[in-house]
Chain A
Amino acid sequence: DGGITQSPKYLFRKEGQNVTLSCEQNLNHDAMYWYRQDPGQGLRLIYYSQIVNDFQKGDIAEGYSVSREKKESFPLTVTSAQKNPTAFYLCASSMRDRGTDTQYFGPGTRLTVL
């Protein structure tokens, strides 16, 4: 089945540790995205990548880093510089559909920093 996988579903880390969240897609989509969602809020864009080896900051990139070495993979590292890392993290990829992009989301990773 084609889709987006994120692992793990739940992640616990101690304060001050860097942590990397995995995102893989087999949809052959060029563009990929990382969002953060806090309780009761909408999604906020962290980083996005339109092609391999290129990515741009979103609205809340501080304290995060990404890489895009392969088309199907877009890992997100939450660094110790991120002040409030506990959140629900969502990865998405997109395809062009009738003139605009349709985004497909993974199941998310819920990160808790203790």
Chain B
Amino acid sequence: DAKTTQPNSMESNEEEPVHLPCNHSTISGTDYIHWYRQLPSQGPEYVIHGLTSNVNNRMASLAIAEDRKSSTLILHRATLRDAAVYYCILSYAGGTSYGKLTFGQGTILTVHP
């Protein structure tokens, strides 16, 4: 499986934008880029996913580099409720890896009031 690399931790202030980077230099053409987040003692929560084009939803934006070797999750205005572990995951849709997600260590985001 293709791997992702994320910083161990990041900090932000409330109501400021947050840019969470992810490197995935060995991504294949059929890998989707997914982001999930996990609050303490809870199950992960889907945030956003994309293949080649930038994506926006009510939670965040996903900016994908033109060569697809990196991506950035953008939280436009961080709130205290956004403090979580953020996972960047590559998922191959097809064959025996149907829907399979491989979680790494993720980035611990701390949001200061």
Contact A97 B99 (CB under 8 A): no
Q: How many residues of A contact B (CB 8 A)?
A: 31
Which of A40-60 touch B at CB < 8 Å?
41-45, 48, 50, 56, 58
Shortest beta-carbon distance from A77 to chain B in Å: 20
Give every chain A residue within 8 A of B41 (Cβ-Cβ): 88, 108, 110
Interface size on B, residues (CB 8 A): 24
Give, as a whole number of angstroms, the nearest-CB distance from B105 to chain A.
6
A99 touches B104 (CB 8 A): no
Chain B binding site: helix, strand, loop or mixed by DSSP? loop
Can you list 6 A-B pairs with a CB-CB distance of less than 8 A? A31-B98, A42-B104, A44-B103, A48-B100, A99-B32, A99-B93
Interface residues of chain A, those whose CB is within 8 Å of chain B, are: 4, 31, 33, 35, 41-45, 48, 50, 56, 58, 88, 90, 92, 94, 96-108, 110
